[in-house]
Amino acid sequence: MRRTRLLVLAAIAYIVAAWSVAPGFYDGFSPPQPYNFVCPPPQAGANSQPSSGHLNIKIINGSSDPNSGFTDDGQLVIGFLPGAFDVTGKSSVNVTITPVTPCPNPNGLRFVTNTYLITADAPLVKKSNLVMRYSNVSQDPSYIYRAKSLDGPWTRLDVQQQAQLWTTSTQTDQLGYFAAGFPSSAISTASSSNQEILPIIIAVLIVAVLLAGIPLAVMRRRPARAGGRRDAEEDEDE
């Protein structure tokens, strides 16, 4: 029974610890790479400046080569299909990705990522895949927004389901300014609530495993005790 008490006490201690840790502790098996903000929120802690990116796309047989442009810190990646650009009169296509400062604050929207300007010296004629990484200290973005000017208007782009944590993606048929976020009216505690529930679920599962092992431990001890009693009785008979 002493072992059983220790198991139960360990389970209770784990639940208390899981409840008291800061949200986000159980969001993955390893902490996500810190996000480099142009305008870091107070909860971001230490911050490094975000990187830019540049890509030179070759033209082969009159068509632009498939390629991907990305920032040096990997916070934005854009992939181009074969023939994605109108290359009339071009020998190559240059793509530039630049984090924007100061941070735009459009009316009615809340951005959780940096705003990036993506430009090319040739017109885009095919849709391209865009992936943006965001911080685990921010609420999950609902959409990626695009604009031709920082003054707007900002066009909402529907996002695709991502298997990788802390990323969001979409397709775009135009270049310009991009940021991930959500309508200001959608600000809620949903993200933090999910982060608080996750440790509780893990704790409950561990408790279930521990409790499931208790009957097995008791059953193992009973034969040993029964054997001990038989040995004692045999000694008394002798």
How many angstroms separate the Cα of 149 from the Cα of each of 29, 54, 207? 40, 21, 54
- Looking up tokens 């990626």 gives 144
User: What pLDDT is stored for residue 96 in this prediction?
Assistant: 99
Phi, psi of 62, deg, nearest 5 = 75, 15
Long-range contacts of the stretch 147-156 (C-beta < 8 A, 24+)? 147/176, 147/177, 148/174, 148/176, 148/177, 149/177, 150/100, 150/104, 150/115, 150/177, 152/106, 154/106, 154/109, 154/179
More confident: 119 or 163: 119
Q: How far apart are CA 147 and CA 177, in angstroms?
A: 5
Please say whether the beta carbons of 129 and 79 come within 8 A: yes
Task: Answer yes or no: CATH 3.40.50.720 is held by domain 42-186.
Answer: no
Q: Quick one: which of 201, 199, 134, 196 has its CA closest to 169?
A: 134
**Beta strands per DSSP E along the chain:** 53-60, 63-64, 67-70, 76-80, 92-99, 109-111, 116-120, 128-133, 143-147, 155-157, 167-172, 176-183
Beta bridge partners of 94: 56
Q: Quick one: which of 146, 108, 187, 138 has its CA closest to 37?
A: 138
> Residue 26 is inside which H or E element, if any?
none
Q: Binning pLDDT at 50, 70 and 90, where does residue 40 land?
A: very high
- pLDDT single digits (tens) 74-125: 999 999 999 999 999 999 999 999 999 999 999 999 999 999 999 999 999 9
Q: Quick one: which of 24, 27, 23, 45 has its CA closest to 36?
A: 45
pLDDT for residue 168 is more than 60: yes
Q: Binning pLDDT at 50, 70 and 90, where does residue 20 land?
A: very low
* Strands 76-80 and 155-157, bridge-based pairing: unpaired
Q: How far apart are CA 27 and CA 93, in angstroms?
A: 40
- pLDDT single digits (tens) 127-157: 999 999 999 998 999 999 999 999 999 999 9
- pLDDT single digits (tens) 224-237: 555 555 555 555 55
